[in-house]
Amino acid sequence: MVEDLPDSRTRELMLAEALSHVPGYTPGDPSIEVTRLSGGSVNRSYSVLTPVGRFVLRLSQGPDAWLTSDRSVERELQRIAARALIAPRIIAADGNDWWMVTEYVTGRLWMEPDFANPERLARLGGTLRRLHQLPLPEIGRFDLLKALAGYAERVGADPPTAAQVYAGR
């Protein structure tokens, strides 16, 4: 999958709207740092440092960025994991799945040698065990066949542009 965000003007509007939900963000404040983060094949993510703290802002191309109808389940799962101190807390999220702001958690990417380190693997296994012991949300049983059927119905139809979808939210 490659990054397929809307045109640059729409992306700028999305970014401006999302930034307005970052605690301590004031447009034009020279002390605020917004830095694009590397990685991500579907989303565009930014580190946002404000006088209040450091946050991550994720922009998405919208619901079709994933094989789901919306990201409400993802948000609920992240809230559950955040309460268990396994995931960063969600600060704000767009109900139409265009953006999400979370706390920034300092860490490092796993590298190949980590997979041969018994201590690192034991820590990962412990975290996964804790994660899988968490209560399941009431919503969000993902039905792959239903999602694929929905995509099949849309094949051949002229989809609206991202700007049209975003403007008509």
Q: 78-98, pLDDT tens digit by residue?
A: 999 999 999 999 999 988 778
pLDDT tens per residue, range 19-73? 999 999 999 999 999 999 987 767 889 999 999 999 999 988 655 444 445 577 7
Residues linked to residue 46 through DSSP beta bridges, in sequence order: 36, 57
Q: How far apart are CA 80 and CA 110, in angstroms?
A: 24
Find the range with the poorest average confidence among 1-5, 118-122, 147-151.
1-5
pTM of the model: 0.74
Which residue type sits at 164?
Q
Task: Count the neighbouring beta carbons within 10 Å of the beta carbon of residue 103.
Answer: 15
Beta bridge partners of 93: 100
Q: Which long-range contacts (CB under 8 A, 24 or more apart) does 26-35 make?
A: 26/50
| CA distances, 66 to each of 21, 84, 109, 140, 151 (Å) | 23, 25, 23, 14, 11
